[in-house]
Structure 1
């Protein structure tokens, strides 16, 4: 039997959340879910899924259906309970898109772009003060952090401080953060005429919390390298990986 990821305690918590999302407790639900996690962890093609998880096509169809109906994203959002919103940290990370991830059907959004690394996707992530993911968006890898930041920040709950690196150095973004009632902790670039006299460098040192989340997510090989053709399927994979980080909480 291939190694599984869900203990009995975590499976019960996940199953209750799945029931809230309208996923029925059918026979082999745990087996199917473990198959999805197995593919997420090892990054194998769906056709190479071990038979211990059932028919590979049945597992894929279940994942694709949950993705299409945004149920996996709903599971992630449902598991976010009492996040510590005193501080919020935002950042972006590029993942390489495998050559098999290109060629999505016409009219289907892929969120794959060209950058110096070739075909890539960028994950724009926000985490709370405990270093747990609370929201993310996906774009092509060529999209600058500062360009996607207003969309990301607009979806975040109210916080006391929002911390980011100098890639987010933008006065309109600072204004947006202040309008949300938060204090922006974003260093200015070297050519800035304003300077960094107002920077809270002690708080800025905790920005590694968002980097740690990217490191943990990329333990899943299907996240570290993107194999999904459609944006919604890769988004569902990232949401499921983020949900897994919340299960012990």
Structure 2
């Protein structure tokens, strides 16, 4: 049974292992842009239709959001075109919308479809704060985290089937399946935290490339932590959470800031040279 699972895992890595630009992390992705982007765009349009009355368009806050989004998207586009990713860059259909909702949240779907909720704007506090959150969310799309999670879910299903097959005649099969379920779920949580940390780093590079103050990314998470304490929100232990703790993110961002500044300068210079 273990050999069967190992064989499946090795086969997967041999078939579809690629590298995330900038961070260099190895990833598995079975899902192409051609497969996921039409669905992503359709779902985004559906979300906007369902929340039409909540979309804010002409306020200074909404205009600021779109301006920051355009600048961050421009930085991502420059990087991709200067690094042989023009086809991917052409596939993005950037859109930035502000939704009147007290939820402290923002997200970006594959292909560059972004939503901010008004609830996160006080945490952002200023333009650089908006750029920090925007960079992070856009980075998820850039690194294809959505596609990678879908691919990982497929592997998880295959692994579960292999465990069930290999233990079908085993009196302890139920125990094995329970163990696999718990283990795989914790693995997926760690996988998600890896995505969050990677998006923090990539987002920091992109916001600096776009001309924003990267140090504000640290302050955003300080404000997030303070808000959580004031509101009494209690996070689960980090090893059981899909996101790193606020404290971990603050330390990681502060430590990565010098490297992010170096990379941002390098990529902007590279983009200028390619354009000329």
> Normalising by structure 2, what TM-score?
0.22
Higher-Rg structure is 2
The higher-RCO structure (CA 8 Å, 6+ apart) is 1
Higher share of residues assigned strand:
1
